Amino acid sequence: MNTARRLRIAMLAHSTNPRGGVVHAIELADALTRLGHEAVVHAPDAGGKGFFRAPVTSAVAVMASPAPKSVVDMVRVRIADYVRHFEAPESRRFDLFHAQDAISGNALATLKQRGMIKRFARTVHHIDHFSDSRLSDWQTRSIAQADELFVVSSLWQKQIATGFGRASTLIGNGVDTMRFNPASRTIDEQVRTRYDIADGRVLLAVGGIEERKNSFRIVEAFRQVLNVHRDAQLVIVGGASLLDHAAYRAQVEALIAADPILDRAVRCLGPVPDAEMPSLYRLADALVFPSVKEGFGLVVLEAMASGTPVVTSRIAPFTEYLREDDVVWCDPASAGSIANAMAMVLGEPLGSRLAQRGFMVARRHDWRNTARAHLPVYHRLSELQHA
């Protein structure tokens, strides 16, 4: 196997929006490019605005058809958009194809079925449970039909082995410590003013309002924290998702609206420009991330790299890469436990100690190492693709 040969890699993400899998695709492609390969990021561009963050490497905004309101129909349309794009021979001039999600994985499975490509790889960031059987079937197909599987944590490596009887390659994750670091910038105060972020204690929740992010319990816990820290503010940012979270979001918004104190102290910003995220981490006194399910939790590393202490769930995958004293742990099923963790992280000297430890943790997670972990599998796939 020639592991020194320069590869041309098609990297496929499900959208151009700021979601963890899309960030992973961009950062991995950039790291591969810096290692001397040519990685081209692809994604359906529903809004016509391009990627939320311009990759260093080449990028292709795949033409996206008008999306129906139904999630199932939207997924079907996005799979078809990808297939139509790669049906053109000039679009398939790659040594290998790598899907980061079920949408692009199904498109590649269809291309493989039609004999247009021989093989493809898929990264499984996490496995969702869908009430609609069609979404479940697409998720299963994208994993079962992939010739090589990557995972970002041991949790999902075990799930793949148990659920699919498949081996997978653990590649981890990374964080860009040049973008995310504790050094203040002029833009920080501009961001504070733009979003009316208080000078008092600021708790940041990233990922929007979703059941998987445990948003309802975060707000319940924050209401308890306000009894002690009356000047505290909860800032919820993000939420650009292909899935429909409207019903859950309505529950959380009703909880906030019913309490005048919460209504004053909670800021729901929605998706924000990517350039502002480092500032939001630096403005926060802590990241509150008690998710009930994650593939890895990239935002934890982003916060740590920014010198921001973290509250997170004592569950895998967090327990895989975080040590006992790296964060304040909580039980994600208990609003009381989350509230206690919030109160602890706002105290000193704990907050300052966690900020120092967090930066050291972040430095251990380098995108270059993540990219290198892919190369043996990439070269094996490439040789089979051209056999």
| CATH number of domain containing 307 | 3.40.50.2000
Give the integer Cα–Cα distance in Å for 141 and 381.
19
Asked if residue 152 belongs to a domain, the reply is yes
57 and 157 both lie in a single domain:
yes
Reading the chain (387 residues) residue by residue, the pLDDT tens digits are 555 689 999 999 999 988 888 999 999 999 999 999 999 999 999 888 899 888 999 999 999 998 788 999 999 999 999 999 999 999 999 999 999 999 999 999 999 999 999 999 999 999 998 889 999 999 999 999 999 999 999 999 999 999 999 999 999 999 999 999 999 999 999 999 999 998 889 999 999 999 999 999 999 999 999 999 999 999 999 876 767 778 999 999 999 999 999 999 999 999 999 999 999 999 999 999 999 999 899 999 999 999 999 999 999 999 999 999 999 999 999 999 999 999 999 999 999 999 999 989 998 999 999 999 999 999 999 887 666
Q: How many domains does the chain have?
A: 2
152 and 200 both lie in a single domain:
no
3-class DSSP assignment, residue 205:
strand
pTM of the full structure:
0.90
152 and 191 both lie in a single domain:
no
pLDDT at 54: 87
User: For residue 19, how far is the Cα from the chain centroid?
Assistant: 5
211 and 346 both lie in a single domain:
yes
327 and 303 both lie in a single domain:
yes
Give the ranges where the chain is alpha helix by DSSP (H): 20-34, 71-87, 102-113, 133-144, 154-164, 186-194, 215-225, 246-257, 260-265, 277-283, 298-305, 318-321, 335-345, 350-363, 367-385
Asked if residue 179 belongs to a domain, the reply is no
pLDDT at 48: 87
pLDDT at 240: 67
Handedness of CA 313, 317, 320, 322 (dihedral sign): negative
pLDDT at 146: 98
206 and 336 both lie in a single domain:
yes
47 and 161 both lie in a single domain:
yes
pLDDT at 387: 62
Asked if residue 60 belongs to a domain, the reply is yes
Asked if residue 3 belongs to a domain, the reply is no
Residue holding tokens 């493809």? 120
260 and 335 both lie in a single domain:
yes
289 and 376 both lie in a single domain:
no
pLDDT at 244: 74
CA distances in angstroms from 50 to 53, 74, 124, listed in the order given? 8, 19, 24
Asked if residue 90 belongs to a domain, the reply is yes
Asked if residue 2 belongs to a domain, the reply is no
212 and 354 both lie in a single domain:
yes
Pull the structure tokens for residue 248: 């859950």
160 and 211 both lie in a single domain:
no
Asked if residue 181 belongs to a domain, the reply is no
3-class DSSP assignment, residue 106:
helix
pLDDT at 3: 59
Asked if residue 80 belongs to a domain, the reply is yes
228 and 317 both lie in a single domain:
yes
Range of the domain at 234: 186-363
Which residues does 45 contact at the CB level (< 8 Å), separation at least 6? 16, 51, 61, 62, 63, 64
